[in-house]
């Protein structure tokens, strides 16, 4: 019985750590940059775009298609950063 209780305590502790880690991860913001750092996208942990900053140099130097490509690259990098953070979170819970 003591072994079962110890195992149950361990499971509860692991679940609590997982919940805390998930809450911390979901509250984080992730940033991706493109066009030499002049296009900056910020997303939440789920990839929702929260902020997009485009330097005036990028606006004037890039045509619409290239600017769109750079915006997409910045957003993709932010999403990749979030995915990397999530991947690092999961192994620590085992």
Report the share of the chain in percent with pLDDT over 90: 55
- 26-68 pLDDT, tens digit each: 789 999 999 999 999 999 988 899 999 999 999 999 999 999 9
Quote the pLDDT of residue 32: 98
Provide the domain limits for residue 19: 2-93
pLDDT at 5 over 90: no
Number of domains in the chain: 1
Q: Give the burial string for 7-36 (b: 16+ CB within 10 Å, else e).
A: eeeeeeeeeeeeeebeeebeeeebbbbbbe
Please, are residues 39 and 55 in contact by the beta-carbon 8 Å criterion? yes
CATH of the domain at 49: 3.30.1310.10
The per-residue pLDDT of the chain, averaged, comes to 89
């Amino acid at each position: 019985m003591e072994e079962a209780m110890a195992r149950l305590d361990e499971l509860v502790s692991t679940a609590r750590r997982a919940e805390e880690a998930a809450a911390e991860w979901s509250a984080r913001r992730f940033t991706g940059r493109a066009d030499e750092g002049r296009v900056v996208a910020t997303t939440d942990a789920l990839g929702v775009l929260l902020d997009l900053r485009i330097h005036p140099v990028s606006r004037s130097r890039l045509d619409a298609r290239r600017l769109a490509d750079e915006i997409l690259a910045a957003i993709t990098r932010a999403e990749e950063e979030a995915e990397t953070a999530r991947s690092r979170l999961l192994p620590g819970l085992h």
